[in-house]
Structure 1
Amino acid sequence: MTDYSEQNTQQPYNRADEPPTTVRPVMQPDNPYASTRGSITNKQLPAFDEAIINKYNRSGPRYTSYPTALEFTPIPENIGVNGFEAVSLETKILQNRESRAPLSLYFHIPFCRHLCYYCACNKIITKKNSDSGDYLEYLIAEIKLKRRLLTTEGGKNPVVKQLHLGGGTPTFLRDEEMVQLWEFLQTQFEFLPENEGDYSIEIDPRELGDNTLQTLRSLGFNRISLGVQDLEEAVQIAVNRVHSAELIANIMAEARALGFHSINLDLIYGLPHQTPATFAKTVDRIIKMSPDRLSVFNYAHLPERFKAQRQIKDEDLPSPSDKLSMLADTVNTLTEAGYQYIGIDHFALPDDELAIAQRAGKLHRNFQGYTIMGDCDLLGFGVSAISQIANANTRYILQNHTDLTVYQETINAARSNPNVMPAAKVIKTSIKDRLREYVIMNLLCHDYIDFKDVNQKFGIDAITYFIDEIKQLGAMQEDKLIDMDAAGIRIMPKGRFLGRNVAMVFDEYLAKKHKNRFSKVI
């Protein structure tokens, strides 16, 4: 076993029972994750092994954060001292954030005009156009509320590198409302030029105005994501989401003509009436449209938890074996077509920024999924929106009220009381959490964790510190899902579909609780 102690003479490495630190070495090594993937070659492609997948496939989180959202705790109400109301926790967190850190802004638009039966989100189905205008007023009020707490050097507006509108259906906002929101944001923040920043929006192709794409592009949006799910009519009818392949192709053609940098399409396998043959047909048609990115999600049928899914009949769903066949065929077809498998359902063309970042060892994950903007604080706005704010050795994860009425009541109260803030839940991460997050995210982003890198960043001996986890990975090593040695842990092609299972070994919370709160990895 290699002794790495000579790599950092400023401090001794801690024993396994001592806490990690964040003391940084004087010299950082070259990025150890940049060369793990290399060019797109067969040896880098995921290898499908049905027996292995069935052996290890178990429920687990998607790790858009660590700790995951299941560790949220309620923020206690402010209790004043000597008659004065206390400053809220969210206020303190925003005031104390690193002022030089750039921002990623997320806006949650909860409305949809149609109920999709596969949906596992608490969306609000409405056709009232007035809802969007009312909601926009609350968003603007929340922006003002949070912006006044953000300090910057020289009194300049905070720098924004990334913005994303999610939902629901963000294009539920009318074009003029989108312009109003964007123009207001320009007065509050300093946005990087659109050729440097990442400004994206999710779109329901059925709810797109004649001039919406042109409006979005003129504002500076440079990336769009279309929810397609499937192109077979029988499947679309069964999930109440009907649209034509021609509509998708036309939207993509218009987006390219307008100069959008990247187009993502969402597909779902495991929906009612799907078969390996029909889904393969959909994938072939999608490849001809050549989206820059693809998200291919596994449908988890949980009607006892999600009311909308009760419209789907169990007997109409494909068998587990057919679902595995759909996944295997899809991955093989996409990789043969030149797409890079990013991980956790995501694919990208080799020249897309996401694929480039992964090959460069600079890919990250947060509540927006895979991202190239890992140095940003995430600031969320709207009902249920989540923020991630770093402060020295601690990261705070905050979530707004998930009930629209309560969220609106909170914003109304904040108009007259500056101590009221919209966050209702919080996770305060420890330095141990930050260490495990680093391991988990690098495994999911780069299929690798470098022990020397971990030692230098956290002041530990990784092999000693994670000896129990390393022992647990022994079976995966025997099955050739991973390769472990004194240098680190590498996920092999045979294990790439099960990267989450490898990461779960390092999740301290998962071992203690939440065993039945997730869907299967595949």
Structure 2
Amino acid sequence: MSNSTSSSNSHHQTPQAWDAGTIRRYDVNEPRYTSYPTALSFHSSFAATDFATALARSNVDGKPLSIYVHIPFCRENCFYCACNKIVTRNTQLADPYLNRLEQEMRLVTSHLDTSRPVTQLYWGGGTPTFLTLDQMSDLIDRLDDQFGLSGDRSRDYAIEIDPRAANVLTLRHLQALGFNRVSLGVQDLDLRVQQAINRVQPRVLTENLIEEARRLGFRSLNLDLIYGLPYQTRDSFAETLEQVIAMAPARLSIFNYAHLPERFVSQQHIETAALPSAEEKLAILRTTIVMLEEAGYVHIGMDHFALPSDSLAVAQRMGTLRRNFQGYSSHGNTDLIGLGVSAISDVDDIYAQNSTDLTCYETTIDTGELATARGLRLTFDDRVRRHAIERLMCDMTLDLDALSQTFDIDAPRYLAGALERLSDAKRDGLIERYGNRLIVTPVGRLLIRYLAMAFDAHLTDQQSLDDSRILWP
């Protein structure tokens, strides 16, 4: 496609001459745009009946299905975490939750044509590997019974793994259940950092799982790291990166830690004085990008990196990369069904989010009603802007002529306000315009969330908070 050349060329332009002042000026708390409008725009007047109607309406197009299952349980409380979770060591507490998940599946499939293939499955949390092997099998059986899971080689069936709560037997079991991609939570390999965030995780645990995943033939393996944690420095994180690069995962997600102790109680255990300064965080980020690009990784965008052979990098070169609530995805054009507490569905032209309170979720399901607590139906304007934001964030370019054709509009005129809001970014070298084509520069790639904000018609001062791990899942 036409956008592949300019996108791929910019991957290898390592930002050697960063203007730290420019980056700090633009690096505000923007949404991650895993959806547009973002979850902060969802409202409680959107009801379960609206979701049910959208499910039935989606059968007309008959898109493939993507299923997200939220497992809210964790054995330990990691101090940095802002996910929707319940800390316990009692795995029996998951049994009634699995029963509710099955009830929710039945409620959803009563409105769906279940002959639609499930091309993507993702278990997130929490910690999905909190479940026992038998509970995992039970959940897969229930999903297969209600939706009919796929055995197609092109399927993308992924699960988040805590290496402290898994071993080689876990991986073998997951492969037998049909998973072909795994994501390991690492965060940092420095012991002092691990102790400060209450996540002591010896490197050997991660290495053993990576080795076994390769032996078993998992299609892709992702490691999660976080920068901005207490006691991190550019040198200490470089040591972690050296070890991670030696492990050669196909994908890396390197998240920016947002310290919001007033919103997340567990973060109050982290000493603010121990956090790296803004300058040091920027140095860590620069070190990360330089080291990973020198090691052959493609900077997909924001916090995602992948080897050129990985499906994410391939999809970006082909112009088919998408964004969903898990971030960047190589599987697009699906209807996403979210199951479990706090999960979000993206079906037809709506977003629907389940209650974020476990008791409320369970009570609603027990009454035989879908657990929808809030949501949104997209307007024509929302769909235009969603498409523009997604293409900009996935391709690092935006073809306004193609946008005009897709929606039968005059895109430069329709989005004149957004283009005007990009004028400062254009002046400062974050984005360039050639006719009706916008191209993000290598430094602009670091600030892609800011560039996307220009197209956001819902954004207010109160909504400019990072919603990456706050509202979903």
Q: Output the amino acid matched with 1:447.
A: M
For residues 152-163 of structure 1, what are the structure 2 equivalents within 5 Å?
157-163=115-121
Q: 1:218 aligns with which of 176, 181, 190?
A: 176
Q: 1:68 aligns with which of 9, 34, 38?
A: 38
Are the counterparts in 2 of residues 436 and 506 from structure 1 also a CA contact under 8 Å?
yes
Distance in structure 2 (CA, Å) of the matches to 1:515 and 1:401? 20
Distance in structure 1 (CA, Å) of the matches to 2:246 and 2:113? 48
Match status 1:148 vs 2:110: yes
1:209 to partner: Cα distance: 4.6
For residues 240-259 of structure 1, what are the structure 2 equivalents within 5 Å?
240-259=198-217
Aligned to 2:67: 105
1:473 to partner: Cα distance: 1.6
Match status 1:306 vs 2:281: no
Aligned to 1:81: none
Are the counterparts in 2 of residues 102 and 377 from structure 1 also a CA contact under 8 Å?
yes
Q: Output the amino acid matched with 1:71.
A: S
Q: Output the amino acid matched with 1:373.
A: H
For residues 258-273 of structure 1, what are the structure 2 equivalents within 5 Å?
258-273=216-231
Match status 1:401 vs 2:338: no
Distance in structure 2 (CA, Å) of the matches to 1:515 and 1:378? 24
Match status 1:518 vs 2:433: no
Indicate how the Cα distance of structure 1 residues 138 and 230 shifts in structure 2: closer, same or farther if over 3 A, else same: same
Post-superposition Cα deviations, 1:433-472, rounded to whole Å, max 9, x if no partner, equal: 0000111111111111101101100111111112222222
Indicate how the Cα distance of structure 1 residues 44 and 326 shifts in structure 2: closer, same or farther if over 3 A, else same: closer
Distance in structure 1 (CA, Å) of the matches to 2:18 and 2:329? 26
User: What residue ranges of structure 2 are gaps of 5+ in the alignment?
Assistant: 469-473
For residues 376-395 of structure 1, what are the structure 2 equivalents within 5 Å?
376-390=334-348, 395=349
Aligned to 1:239: 197
Q: Output the amino acid matched with 1:92.
A: T
State the TM-score, normalizing by the size of structure 1. Answer: 0.86
Aligned to 2:377: 428
Q: Secondary structure at the match of 1:37?
A: helix
Post-superposition Cα deviations, 1:117-176, rounded to whole Å, max 9, x if no partner, equal: 001123100111211112111111111111121036xxxx22100000000000111111
1:224 to partner: Cα distance: 0.4
Aligned to 1:505: 454
Indicate how the Cα distance of structure 1 residues 65 and 143 shifts in structure 2: closer, same or farther if over 3 A, else same: same
For residues 288-437 of structure 1, what are the structure 2 equivalents within 5 Å?
288-390=246-348, 395-414=349-368, 420-437=369-386
Distance in structure 2 (CA, Å) of the matches to 1:43 and 1:77? 47
Q: Which of the pair is proportionally richer in helix?
A: 2
Q: Output the amino acid matched with 1:91.
A: A
1:481 to partner: Cα distance: 1.3
Distance in structure 1 (CA, Å) of the matches to 2:352 and 2:467? 24
Q: Output the amino acid matched with 2:396.
A: D
Distance in structure 1 (CA, Å) of the matches to 2:300 and 2:213? 24
Distance in structure 2 (CA, Å) of the matches to 1:210 and 1:475? 52
1:398 to partner: Cα distance: 0.2
Aligned to 2:94: 132
1:77 to partner: Cα distance: 6.7
1:487 to partner: Cα distance: 2.5
1:59 to partner: Cα distance: 1.6
Are the counterparts in 2 of residues 354 and 372 from structure 1 also a CA contact under 8 Å?
yes
Are the counterparts in 1 of residues 7 and 397 from structure 2 also a CA contact under 8 Å?
no
Q: Secondary structure at the match of 1:379?
A: strand
The number of residue pairs the alignment matches comes to 467
1:90 to partner: Cα distance: 2.1
Aligned to 2:419: 470
1:41 to partner: Cα distance: 6.0
1:33 to partner: Cα distance: 2.5
Q: Output the amino acid matched with 1:517.
A: L
Q: Output the amino acid matched with 1:49.
A: D
Are the counterparts in 2 of residues 133 and 173 from structure 1 also a CA contact under 8 Å?
no
Post-superposition Cα deviations, 1:368-418, rounded to whole Å, max 9, x if no partner, equal: 21111111000010001100001xxxx10000111101111111110xxxx
Are the counterparts in 1 of residues 98 and 139 from structure 2 also a CA contact under 8 Å?
yes
Are the counterparts in 2 of residues 132 and 174 from structure 1 also a CA contact under 8 Å?
no
Aligned to 2:471: none
Post-superposition Cα deviations, 1:326-368, rounded to whole Å, max 9, x if no partner, equal: 0000100000000000111010000000010001100000112
Aligned to 1:168: 126
Aligned residues: CA RMSD: 1.8
Distance in structure 2 (CA, Å) of the matches to 1:40 and 1:484? 15
Structure with the greater alpha carbon radius of gyration? 1
Indicate how the Cα distance of structure 1 residues 202 and 371 shifts in structure 2: closer, same or farther if over 3 A, else same: same
Q: Please identify runs of 4+ aligned residues in structure 1 that moved more than 6 A.
A: 44-47
Post-superposition Cα deviations, 1:303-348, rounded to whole Å, max 9, x if no partner, equal: 1111000001111111111111000001000000000001110100
Distance in structure 2 (CA, Å) of the matches to 1:328 and 1:77? 45
Distance in structure 2 (CA, Å) of the matches to 1:124 and 1:388? 25
Are the counterparts in 1 of residues 10 and 441 from structure 2 also a CA contact under 8 Å?
no
Percent identity of equivalent pairs: 45
Distance in structure 2 (CA, Å) of the matches to 1:191 and 1:77? 28
Indicate how the Cα distance of structure 1 residues 239 and 194 shifts in structure 2: closer, same or farther if over 3 A, else same: farther
Distance in structure 1 (CA, Å) of the matches to 2:441 and 2:274? 35
Q: Output the amino acid matched with 2:54.
A: I
Q: Output the amino acid matched with 1:442.
A: R
Q: Secondary structure at the match of 2:90?
A: coil
1:210 to partner: Cα distance: 5.1
Aligned to 2:76: 114
Distance in structure 1 (CA, Å) of the matches to 2:16 and 2:391? 17
Are the counterparts in 1 of residues 40 and 463 from structure 2 also a CA contact under 8 Å?
no
1:212 to partner: Cα distance: 1.1
